Amino acid sequence: MPECDFCCLPGAQWVYVLQDRAVVALLSDEGLVTPLPNDGRWRACDICSELVDTQGMAGLVARSLSSLRMLGVPIPDGGPDLEHMAMVVMANFATVLAARPTRQPLQGRAS
């Protein structure tokens, strides 16, 4: 089963196609610009889909960081490092919420 592009957990049932695509890039302290991948199609599980549909940015960020921690990604417990990580995730997800996404069933999804 495909992974959700928001929470990284298996179970994607939907795909959001962005009408207006934006590019998000990270700028390092050394001035290195790294674009974040975005092909204009974001898969979503049922829970993340509900958050996208209701513009629930805080819930999307919290779910993403929580699931990444559960999957073994080192997520800071607090402080500036966690705030920075949350800002990066939020900037990436903002490209979806601001892009007038249309939701479609993911091809091959279970009925």
Q: What is the pLDDT of residues 8-27, one digit of tens each?
A: 999 999 999 988 777 777 77
Residue 98 lies in a domain: yes
pLDDT at 26: 75
Q: What is the mean pLDDT of residues 93-108?
A: 87
Print the domain residue range for 79: 14-105
Residue 4 lies in a domain: no
What's this model's pTM, rounded to 2 decimal places? 0.84
Beta-carbon contacts of residue 68 (< 8 Å; ≥ 6 apart)? 8, 75
Residue with tokens 């699931």: 67
Q: Using the predicted structure, report yes or no on whether residue 44 has a pLDDT greater than 80.
A: yes
Q: How many domains does the chain have?
A: 1
Q: Using the predicted structure, report yes or no on whether residue 110 has a pLDDT greater than 60.
A: no
Q: Using the predicted structure, report yes or no on whether residue 111 has a pLDDT greater than 50.
A: no
Do the Cβ atoms of 8 and 68 come closer than 8 Å? yes
